[in-house]
């Protein structure tokens, strides 16, 4: 979990900084020149991807991200040792995959947790994938977006220990409310685009993203323990739980990118021009403000019905120790 979070944050930060030079325009003004609106609309805002220099920048970024992947894999391989199930008896048998998948999909706490964070992850993905476009075309922050992205990532990285302490003291369901912090500030940024406000929104968004990254990996072991207690003579189900959850989170990323691409394509987004149409700007505001807010609120509403509380978690832990 640590390698995934750090890899995501480091990779996004490095990617943004390396390719920033290919996106920063030196001839796109904040406001169009007088009597040149039409030509200004069609002026490219960044080099053509087929340009050798731009192509080289993206190749370098790809190589760096590949190196981050390899580093994370090596640390994971050397740092994590597989252990036998401490609660399994010699007579216990591994659950077949198809049967185990059916059991996990019928397990209430897992279904609620997965459905909740599927929506929340989609909301975060929408924020992440459209933030640069919003800053460039809708908020007039073309020359600041890479610093805003770094602000988000640094805020997320440094706040993970805070969320860990918070959920240990106040409970995991209570800590999930921190994910909603980005909603009012994102709405403020959409309605009142301002540089200082943008940095503040980036900082708060980083706090919310950290909570959305940490909480599901903290709550999933509780679901696994709850399932183990209800199915005492089966083993090997942890792999199904974790792989299924990873699949759903990756699916949420695909859903978020699909919604963004479809919405921008429908409203006439043209890559590379200095100024987009009013319909595109409105779409970016909706993708940054309204849609993530609705998804997060629905996800948190589903999480209200998540049955594992701090008290039940402690009872399950005690029961598993007795079983062990």
Going by pLDDT thresholds of 50, 70 and 90, the confidence category of residue 268 is: confident
The tokens describing 56, both together, are 């080289």
320/316 Cα distance (integer angstroms):
6
284/190 Cα distance (integer angstroms):
9
Whether the per-residue pLDDT at 45 is higher than 80: the answer is: no
Whether the per-residue pLDDT at 158 is higher than 80: the answer is: yes
Residue 116 confidence (pLDDT)? 92
**Beta bridge partners of residue 93, listed in sequence order:** 234
Whether the per-residue pLDDT at 33 is higher than 50: the answer is: no
Read off the pLDDT of each residue in 55-81 and give the average, rounded to a whole number: 86
Read off the pLDDT of each residue in 98-120 and give the average, rounded to a whole number: 88
Read off the pLDDT of each residue in 171-179 and give the average, rounded to a whole number: 86
pLDDT digits (tens, 9 = 90+) for 83-97: 776 666 665 677 777
Phi-psi region of 268 (alpha: psi -120 to 50; beta: other; left: phi over 0): left
**Beta bridge partners of residue 44, listed in sequence order:** 273
Going by pLDDT thresholds of 50, 70 and 90, the confidence category of residue 209 is: confident
Higher pLDDT, 244 or 48: 244
Residue 53 confidence (pLDDT)? 64
Q: Which residue has the tokens 């460039």?
A: 136
Q: Which residue has the tokens 């030196």?
A: 26
Residue 112 confidence (pLDDT)? 92
Residue 87 confidence (pLDDT)? 63
Whether the per-residue pLDDT at 140 is higher than 90: the answer is: no
**Least confident segment among 21-25, 31-35, 252-256, 297-301:** 31-35
Whether the per-residue pLDDT at 185 is higher than 50: the answer is: yes
130/72 Cα distance (integer angstroms):
27
Whether the per-residue pLDDT at 217 is higher than 80: the answer is: yes
Average pLDDT, the chain: 81
Whether the Cβ atoms of residue 296 and residue 180 lie closer than 8 Å to each other: yes
pLDDT digits (tens, 9 = 90+) for 220-245: 999 988 888 887 776 778 888 888 88
**Beta bridge partners of residue 234, listed in sequence order:** 93
Residue 89 confidence (pLDDT)? 65
Residue 119 confidence (pLDDT)? 92
Model-wide pTM > 0.85: no
Q: Which residue has the tokens 């590949």?
A: 66
The tokens describing 209, both together, are 């993203």
Read off the pLDDT of each residue in 108-113 and give the average, rounded to a whole number: 91
62/316 Cα distance (integer angstroms):
45
Going by pLDDT thresholds of 50, 70 and 90, the confidence category of residue 35 is: very low
The tokens describing 298, both together, are 């629905």
Q: Which CATH superfamily is domain 99-323 in?
A: MFS general substrate transporter like domains (1.20.1250.20)
Residue 36 confidence (pLDDT)? 43
Reference 134, options 292, 241, 10; nearest CA is 292
């Amino acid at each position: 979990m640590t390698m995934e979070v750090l890899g995501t944050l480091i990779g996004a930060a490095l990617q943004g900084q390396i390719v920033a030079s290919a996106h920063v325009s030196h001839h796109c003004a904040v406001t169009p020149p007088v009597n040149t609106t039409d030509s200004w609309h069609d002026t490219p805002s960044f080099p053509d991807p087929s340009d050798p220099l731009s192509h080289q920048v993206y190749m370098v970024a790809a190589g760096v991200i590949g190196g981050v992947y390899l580093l994370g894999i090596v640390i994971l391989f050397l740092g994590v040792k597989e252990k036998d199930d401490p609660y399994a008896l010699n007579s216990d048998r591994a659950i077949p995959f198809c049967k185990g998948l059916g059991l996990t999909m019928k397990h209430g706490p897992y279904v609620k947790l997965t459905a909740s964070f599927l929506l929340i992850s989609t909301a975060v993905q929408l924020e992440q994938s459209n933030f640069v476009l919003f800053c460039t075309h809708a908020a007039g922050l073309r020359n600041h977006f890479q610093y805003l992205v770094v602000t988000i990532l640094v805020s997320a990285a440094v706040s993970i220990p805070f969320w860990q302490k918070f959920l240990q003291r106040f409970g995991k369901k209570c800590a999930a409310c921190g994910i909603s912090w980005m909603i009012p500030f994102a709405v403020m940024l959409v309605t009142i685009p301002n540089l200082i406000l943008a940095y503040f929104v980036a900082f708060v968004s980083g706090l919310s993203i950290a909570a959305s990254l940490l909480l599901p990996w903290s709550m999933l072991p509780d679901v696994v323990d709850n399932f183990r207690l209800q199915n005492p003579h089966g083993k090997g189900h942890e792999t199904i739980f974790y792989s299924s959850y990873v699949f759903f989170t990756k699916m949420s990323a695909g859903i978020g990118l699909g919604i963004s691409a479809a919405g921008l394509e429908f409203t006439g987004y043209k890559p590379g021009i200095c100024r987009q149409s009013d319909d595109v700007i409105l779409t970016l505001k909706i993708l940054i403000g309204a849609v993530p807010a609705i998804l997060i609120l629905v996800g948190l509403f589903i999480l209200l019905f998540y049955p594992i509380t701090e008290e039940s978690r402690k009872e399950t832990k005690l029961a598993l120790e007795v079983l062990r």
